[in-house]
Structure 1
Amino acid sequence: MDSALAQTYPNLEIVVSDDASIDATLELIASYKTKTSIPIYIHHHTPNGIGANWNHCVRKANGEYIKFLFQDDVLLPECVALMVAVLEQHQTIALVASKREFIVESSYLNDTSKAWIDTYNDLQCTLDYPVKNAIQVLNRSLFKHQSYFDSPRNKVGEPSTLLFRTSLLDTVGYFREDLKQILDYEFYNRVLKRYSIAIMQEPLVKFRLHGQQATVLNKNNDQTDYVIYDRLMYDDYLWSLNKDMRLYFLKKYNPFVRLVFKGLKRLKRLQWK
């Protein structure tokens, strides 16, 4: 809350979607109402998954832009102002994100967390898109990139790192509520089908790592999200992918292609005999 209220961007509202918290969160947020002229709205939500809570929050927003800030994370003072400036200067860019720094709680600093940071510190490290004026612009050609399916799969950033026009939701839709782990980059895929995404090279967000955050708690869940995701890639993005990945998904989901390759394998075995 302190970092949100410290933003240099002058025209703000703060919208809180309370997913039935049982600690002192609501009392803490309410105490800020007497400390600022920035309007603070608290809307209660019946828990129905992460995506449902995100969608509930953005539906309650009144502004032209949406800037997520999760309770674990911190914004640098110029974050909103700098991100809004990018969108106002580039009409073809629909969503802007930034690099981020990590706040690692001492109790969570171990070999596992260090390995996670090494892997996910730079989400665009495998991409060769040029950087101009400290901004890297991603577009739908990302789907054909050789490293598109490599780790890190999220090539944009966690939701606290991004800002987008509210009107974007009218064209690409809201967050999927049937996903638990990958709903953010599934959303980015829908954006990239139509628009560009800007990655600011300056870290404007501090992303907190601790043992009880959703990312950590969800990582041992079943792989249902990724089953859904692969099917989505086949149904909605197949012809945007490079030829190797097109073939992979055709063999996985297209019964005719699968039959052809099964026949070719059988023919090779017969020839070998």
Structure 2
Amino acid sequence: MPIPPEVTGEEIDPDVRQELMSLPKGLADDVARNLVMVAQLIDDEPEKAYEYSRVALRLASRVAAVREAAGFAAYATQKYSEALAEFRAARRMTGSVELWPVMADCERGLGRPERALAMAGEPEVQKLDRAGQVEMRLVAAGARRDMDQLDAAIVTLQSPELASSANHPWTARLRYAYADALLAAGREQEAREWFAKALEADKDGSTDASDRLAELDGVEFVDAFDESEGAEDDVRNEALADDAEDSEDSEDSEDAEGSEGDKS
């Protein structure tokens, strides 16, 4: 696949670059450029990111960072079976547990929430850093909801991280998930409070907490584009009405003149 000439591969994370040093330089540069494209496209154009990840995988399937990138690209396109296989391969290569939560979420994506819950109880979870443990909690709560266990999902999300007033990268998402679970359980007032707390922590707009709050408050948004189109239609209709009126007046005037002419 074509890669813009301004993408050099130097943009890659230094740790990944270190991994690629096991490859011949020309090959390492090609892999790096494809991985940069994956990183740049995965949020907005995941299908394209997936294609670049497949190129990198063909070039360097024995590099853990490549397998991980391929896993995330497959995950972003909801190819959960493929993503899980890539994450497992990366984990075998590195021995790291950091992919454990996303592997569990792949099990959810494959319709196996009970496996995700089983993974949440494995010793690997205790080896995760704090962010990873919060992520695992989110996945476990999601699995509970998949199984229609709303109360259990709410309890799963109740944690020191949720109660903390500190703002961490995971705070907004954790509060949002808790608010959403409360709302699903019919606890609307509590849900509103937690959507507000999620919005307070959401500095980069990673959730739609503001929209959810507006919905709960009964606020309706009007599309500015549609509104302007409606205004233009009104103006157009008024102009047509005026033209029709002028035409009628003109015809009446002509009729009147014609009548006077007949009398004479």
The higher relative CO (CA closer than 8 Å, separation ≥ 6) is in 1
The structure with the largest strand share of the pair is 1
TM-score (norm. length: structure 1): 0.28
Q: TM-score, normalized by length of structure 2?
A: 0.28
Structure with the higher fraction of residues in helix conformation: 2
